[in-house]
Structure 1
Amino acid sequence: LCLGSNLGDRKDLIEWGVKELERNGITVTARSSLYETEPVDYEEQPWFLNCVIQGATRLPVGRLLATLKGIEAGAGRTENVRFGPRRLDIDILLYGDEVITEGPVIVPHPRLNERRFALIPLTEIAPDLTDPRDGRLFSEILSGLDEGKKVLKST
């Protein structure tokens, strides 16, 4: 899962989100550092604070998505502008080694291999993880991307 926030107290919102994941049946097994990331797609907004967590859950993927949307809403997220500012955003990057191409959840996340703000923290916690679609290491995918938007480890 990739958590991000660019409104309010970003760090507190991410911490709250991680606690809510735990309260809702998702056991956090690994967590990346926090990263300051330049906005992508809709650029006229504050920078994001992002992290990636690895978790274990018994929730089916559709129920997981509904749970994440509920957590986002609990943090005060409203849908105003696509890719716009948000208090808390939680994306499903991967669901084990499953490939799901239809329905409300597509995994791996359809833009994961283009997003340094997700790949950098993902490869921090799982450097040997491979894309279940083609077997490539995410670390190799990351090394092949242009520098693009800034992703800086937060202090």
Structure 2
Amino acid sequence: GPRTMDLDLLLVGDRVMRDADIVLPHEEISSQAFVLRPLAEIAGERRHPVSGDTLAAMWARLDDAAPLRRVNLDPVNDARN
């Protein structure tokens, strides 16, 4: 049947808010490598609105504790093999 969409907002500009429905910035940005690494890659110089740290600096600290392995997906060639 129909499925509800789950959308996680990570950052909305420099907005900081907490209410029953939403927390900005998302609380898990600094602790989830799969969230922080892509953010740091596309906007590394952007500053976290609460800590003031750049996303790149946050990733550098987390990378040692929670390294990720990049997986390159090539669905066209993978389907041929």
Change (3 A) 1:148 1:89: farther
Deviations 1:39-96 (A, max 9, x none): xxxxxxxxxxxxxxxxxxxxxxxxxxxxxxxxxx96x35xxxxxxxxxx753110111
| 1:116 and 2:25 matched | no
**Which of 125, 128, 133 is the matching residue for 2:42?**
125
What is the TM-score normalised by the length of structure 2? Answer: 0.71
Decide which structure has greater helix share.
Answer: 2
| 1:104 and 2:21 matched | yes
Q: Give the partner amino acid of 2:40.
A: T
Count matched residues.
72
- 1:143 aligned partner: 60
3-state SS of 1:152 partner: coil
Please identify runs of 4+ aligned residues in structure 1 that moved more than 4 A.
Answer: none
In 2: Cα distance, 1:89 partner to 1:121 partner: 19
Decide which structure has greater strand share.
Answer: 1
| 1:91 and 2:8 matched | yes
Structure 1 residue 148 displacement after superposition: 2.4
Change (3 A) 1:89 1:154: farther
3-state SS of 2:18 partner: coil
Percent identical: 28
Structure 1 residue 149 displacement after superposition: 6.0
Greater relative contact order (CA < 8 Å, ≥ 6 in sequence): 1
For the pair shown, the structure with the greater C-alpha radius of gyration is 2
Q: Give the partner amino acid of 1:122.
A: L
| 1:152 and 2:70 matched | yes
Structure 1: state its 5+ residue gaps. Answer: 1-72, 78-87
Structure 1 residue 102 displacement after superposition: 2.5
